[in-house]
Amino acid sequence: MAKETREVDLPQKFETARRPATKFLTRHTLVSDGHDFIGRVRDLSIVALNFETYELLARHPDCKYAFDVGDWVQTLARRVESLNLAGDLLWPENMPSDCSKFPVSRYDWLNIAADVFLMRYVSVVDCSIILTNGVYQKGINPEQCSIPSLKKVGVPLHVLSVLQLMLDDQGSLRTERNARFHHGHERFFTQDDLVFWMASTFEFRGSAITGEDRHGRKLDVARSFKEGLVGVQRDFNRSTRRLVRRLKNLYDLLGEEFEDRFRPLVAAAAHGFNAGSRDKVNP
C-alpha cells in the first residue's frame, strides 16, 4: 500500500501535560530454576524412567510423591520462565522502520505485550497455590484450590502468609487482569490513547496522519509507542523482582516440608529404584 499523509480532525486540545519518559529501563530477566528445591525434585523425578506407565509408578508412594511434586514444580517454573516472553515484547529489538509491514500496529503490540505479562504474572500465584497443595498432599482439586481452601485443610499459617503476600503484591495488576480479560477494559498507554490508537492504525495501513494530540503536541507515533513500553516495563520490573523474592521464601518452606514427607516414604520403600538418590536412576 502506498504511503499517504493525511490531516485529520483530532480531539480538542487541553492544557499541556508533562510527557512520560521514553528511555527504556534496564530489563529484569527471571531465572526460574535457581533454587535447590527445584533441582532436588527434578533429580528425584527421574525415577519415572523405571516405569512404563504412571499407574505402575503410583504403586510406590515415594516414587509417586517425587514425580507428582516434580510435575507441579515444573509447571510453576515454566510459568515463571514464560514471563521472559513478555519481557521480549516489552524490550523489542530490531523493530522495523516501516511498521506498515509489521504483523500488528504499534498500539496492538502494546496490548499483546500487556496481555501476556498480566495473564502470566497473575497466574504464578495460582500455580504456587497448586504446588503447595501438592507438597502438603491435601488433594484439593486444582480448580478449587485457593488460600482459604488450603487454610481449611490445615496448611500452616506461615506458608499461607507467603502466598498471601504474593497475592497482595499483585494488587492493581490483578484487578487490571480481571478487567481486561473479563470485562474488556483496556490500559491507557499514553496521555492521549485515542489519538495514539488512531495514528498507529493509520500508520499500520500505510497512510500516516499528521496533527496534534489533545495537549497540543505534534503527533509522534514512535514516541507514544516508547512511552507505552516504558510504562509496562516499570510494572514488569517492579513486580517480577518482588515475585522472585517471594518465590525463594516459598521454596525454602516447601523444600523443608517435602523432605520431611519424602524421607519416611523412601525409607520404607523396598523397590530398589533409588528414588531417594540424587544420582540419575538406571532404568
Query: Can you give the pLDDT at residue 6?
Result: 56
Task: Evaluate whether residue 26 is within a structural domain.
Answer: no
Task: Evaluate whether residue 12 is within a structural domain.
Answer: no
Task: Evaluate whether residue 282 is within a structural domain.
Answer: no
Q: What does the DSSP 8-state code read for residue 101? A: G
Q: Which amino acid is at 76?
A: L
Model pLDDT for residues 55-85, shown as the tens digit of each residue: 999 999 999 999 999 999 999 999 999 999 9
189/114 Cα distance (integer angstroms):
10
Number of domains present in the structure of the chain: 1
**With bands split at pLDDT 50, 70 and 90, how would you rate the model's confidence at 239?**
very high
Report the pLDDT averaged over residues 172-190: 90
4-7/207-210 β-pairing: parallel
**With bands split at pLDDT 50, 70 and 90, how would you rate the model's confidence at 261?**
very high
Query: Can you give the pLDDT at residue 186?
Result: 87
More confident position, 4 or 94:
94
Query: Can you give the pLDDT at residue 16?
Result: 47
Task: Evaluate whether residue 217 is within a structural domain.
Answer: no
Query: Can you give the pLDDT at residue 3?
Result: 53
Report the pLDDT averaged over residues 152-162: 98
Q: How many residues does the chain have?
A: 283
Of 8-12, 35-39, 237-241, which gets the smallest average pLDDT?
Answer: 8-12
Pair 127, 218: CB distance under 8 Å: no
pLDDT value at 1 more than 50: no
Task: Evaluate whether residue 181 is within a structural domain.
Answer: yes
**With bands split at pLDDT 50, 70 and 90, how would you rate the model's confidence at 269?**
confident
More confident position, 54 or 100:
54
Task: Evaluate whether residue 232 is within a structural domain.
Answer: no
Instruction: Record the cell numbers describing residue 112, joined without a space.
Output: 499483546
Model pLDDT for residues 97-111, shown as the tens digit of each residue: 777 778 899 999 999
Q: Which amino acid is at 85?
A: L
Residues of the chain with pLDDT > 90, as a percent, come to: 62
Task: Evaluate whether residue 280 is within a structural domain.
Answer: no
Query: Can you give the pLDDT at residue 14?
Result: 43
pLDDT value at 211 more than 90: no
66: domain range?
32-188+240-268
- Backbone dihedral angles phi then psi of residue 218, each to the nearest 5 degrees: -60, 140
187/231 Cα distance (integer angstroms):
10
Task: Evaluate whether residue 127 is within a structural domain.
Answer: yes
Minimal CA–CA distance to 90: which of 108, 117, 124?
Answer: 117
